[in-house]
Amino acid sequence: MSQLIITTNTAEETIAVAEKLANRLTPGDVITLEGDLGAGKTTFTKGIAKALGITRTLSSPTFTIVKEYEGKLPLYHMDVYRLEGSDEDIGFDEYFNGNGIAVVEWAQFIEDFLPEERLDITINYQDEQSRVIEFTACGAHFESIIESLS
Ligand SMILES: Nc1ncnc2c1ncn2[C@@H]1O[C@H](COP(=O)(O)OP(=O)(O)OP(=O)(O)O)[C@@H](O)[C@H]1O
Ligand SMILES: [Mg+2]
């Protein structure tokens, strides 16, 4: 199975889905997040942080591009919105091949740097409280993860 669609009706539900996913992740995993402004990319990442036992408040890294958090595994939270149209390599390899989990908001802007094996997530705004979350697994590792989520 390489695709899974889940609808959530509150931000808390989105966080819970992200926690369930994060419990299945292993070092070096890369998650991409696409979706309009306010879709819920950072909210989803908060759920991942929660599952990793990160207690520091996760805020949007828009102005720093990458924020690193210490948890059961390190979390590299990236927001590459500001890299649109640039081909600058900010050292992506280190994050994508590291010991932690890399989560990339607006990943479409750094497509050329993304590893082939990854989990792509698109969040679509339905109404104020509802979101449709679409998971696309690239590679066997992520296929088995989304199978276990369904
Ligand atoms: N079902 C839902 N899932 C996720 N967020 C929701 C949901 N319902 C309401 N929300 C709210 O929508 C907002 C999503 O904001 P968030 O910062 O996560 O979006 P974002 O995609 O990271 O935006 P940006 O592109 O600005 O980084 C939050 O205020 C959150 O509480
Ligand atoms: Mg965000």
Any idea what the Cα angle at residue 18 is, between residues 15 and 22, rounded to 5°?
135
Supply the CATH number for residue 58's domain. 3.40.50.300
pTM of structure: 0.96
Phi and psi, residue 89, nearest 5°: -100, 110
Separation between Cα atoms, residue 128 and residue 72, nearest integer Å = 33
List the chain pLDDT tens, one digit each, 150 residues. Answer: 799 999 999 999 999 999 999 999 999 999 999 999 999 999 999 999 999 999 999 887 667 899 999 999 999 999 999 999 999 999 999 999 999 999 999 999 999 999 999 999 999 999 999 999 999 999 999 999 999 998
Find the domain containing 113 and state its range. Answer: 3-149
Q: Measured from the CA of 60, which atom of ligand 1 is nearest?
A: 27
Beta strand extents in 1-150 (DSSP E only):
3-8, 30-34, 66-69, 75-79, 101-105, 118-127, 130-138
- Is 143 exposed, middle or buried, given 0-12, 13-18 or 19+ CB atoms closer than 10 A? middle
With the most atoms of ligand 1 within 8 angstroms of its CB, the residue from 43, 50, 124 to mutate is 43
